[in-house]
Structure 1
Amino acid sequence: MSFIATAPSSAPKTITNSEFWPDIDLAKLRDAMRLDGTVTNERLEHSAINAVLQVNIDLKMWRLKQQSSGNANLDQVPAEQINGQSIYLQLYLRAVYCVAKANLIERYSDFDSTAKGLKAGEVLSDSVDDLRRDARFAIRDMLGESHVTVELI
């Protein structure tokens, strides 16, 4: 078994979000999602921006409703607090972080196409599905919707 040390990430930055949504601190994203130095800051930034775009689009109607109620940003939306933070802030960050990591895993799976890499890719695909599910659940919780969608045929 070999050990390959990964370089620590350098000077992560913050993704500036639209005025309603919070900015995304890439160092916090990196820590929360256990992303080491193999994920470059450039890749992390690209993935985080994509995740923010996706989640913001999914929550656009909710945001417009909140703004029409006089809430200029997410911090002003009345919500329960857990650990000193709005549950909406926690759900939003969970959705963004999960989508960002899912995007990274999908992009890194094409890095190693050996048999060992393909096997690892199969394991990671389950992880991608779990991350996308967690993001979807966080968004649905913000919208006040059930986690289950059932349609009769």
Structure 2
Amino acid sequence: MFRPGNDGYQQATLTNDGFWPDLELEDFQRARSIPPDISHHTVSQAMLTAVGEINESLEAFAASKQRAGYQTAAAVPGPSMKGESVLLARYKKAVYARAKADLMGEFAAISRREENTNQDAPQTKASLLAEAAVALRGIKGLGRVGVHLI
């Protein structure tokens, strides 16, 4: 259920799988400058889809941590700031970047209504997807760039 706040951002919680943390829609909107006038259903679907894709990509990682005795991502030790570990920060970064990339078409539609061509949208979407990929590689303990044989 969506509950609009005083500033138009939605107060709704995305319930995650138990290992990864629940996420607040309002936090995503604020962190990634998502305009409150974009359909709240559209924003929530982008978040839900991004969480599904990221969680799928991290299934083996989560399973290995659970086998090691860490039942949640928050329990995995590592550097932290203000109660959030680097693991959780990377996870949110990956999810938020992927979700915003999915919403880039919505930004373009709003820009057209406002007579702004928004010519950077393809580059921005590509950079957001790259940001998500780098965060995922960091979680998996891989370097920023890799080469794979086909």
Partner Cα separation in structure 2 for residue 34 and residue 24 of structure 1 = 16
**Structure 1 vs Structure 2: percent identity of aligned residues?**
26
For residues 1-30 of structure 1, the C-alpha deviation after alignment (integer angstroms, 9 at most, x for no partner) is xxxxxxx52542011111111011001000
Alpha-carbon contact 2:79-2:85 (below 8 Å) kept: yes
Partner Cα separation in structure 1 for residue 34 and residue 67 of structure 2 = 38
Structure of greater Rg: 1
- TM-score w.r.t. the length of structure 1 is 0.84
Pairwise CA distance, 1:79: 1.2
Pairwise CA distance, 1:151: 4.4
Partner Cα separation in structure 2 for residue 45 and residue 145 of structure 1 = 30
- TM-score w.r.t. the length of structure 2 is 0.85
Q: Which amino acid aligns with 2:144?
A: H
CA RMSD of aligned residues (A): 2.3
Aligned residues: 144
Alpha-carbon contact 1:17-1:24 (below 8 Å) kept: yes
Partner Cα separation in structure 1 for residue 140 and residue 149 of structure 2 = 22
Partner Cα separation in structure 1 for residue 108 and residue 25 of structure 2 = 22
Q: Which amino acid aligns with 1:17?
A: N
Partner Cα separation in structure 2 for residue 109 and residue 21 of structure 1 = 31
Partner Cα separation in structure 2 for residue 139 and residue 77 of structure 1 = 16
Alpha-carbon contact 2:9-2:29 (below 8 Å) kept: no
- Within-5 A mapping of 1:49-128: 49-109=48-108, 119-120=117-118, 122-128=119-125
What runs of 5+ residues in structure 2 fail to find an aligned partner? 1-6
